[in-house]
Amino acid sequence: MTIQEIDDAAQAATAAGSLVFLVYGNPATEAACRSVLRAIRDTVGVIHERAPDLDGVPWQELNDDMARVLRDFQAAARTELEVTGDVAGRQAAGLA
């Protein structure tokens, strides 16, 4: 991806985050969404600081942080939406 494409994707994520803030009902969902947006902002910031030489970017740390905040957001959203069980398993069985 080019830096412009990364910026575009980050902007799209920020716009989607704005939608979450319009409809959330649980403060944990808001906090988790803010954490995702922070991780995206931090990652984009590091890319811009290091560009064009991205060899020194702490990719593992950034990836670990992003994975953690995405899991937290998923858990908060599932709780808020009262989603339980194995969705993927139900989909595979044709039940969802």
Predicted confidence (pLDDT) per residue in 24-77, tens digit:
999 999 999 999 999 999 999 999 999 888 888 999 999 999 999 999 999 999
Check pLDDT > 60 for residue 17.
Answer: yes
Name the pTM for this structure: 0.81
How many Å apart are CA 69 and CA 30, to the nearest integer?
Answer: 12
Using CA atoms in the order 6, 10, 13, 14, what is the torsion angle rounded to 10 degrees?
A: -170
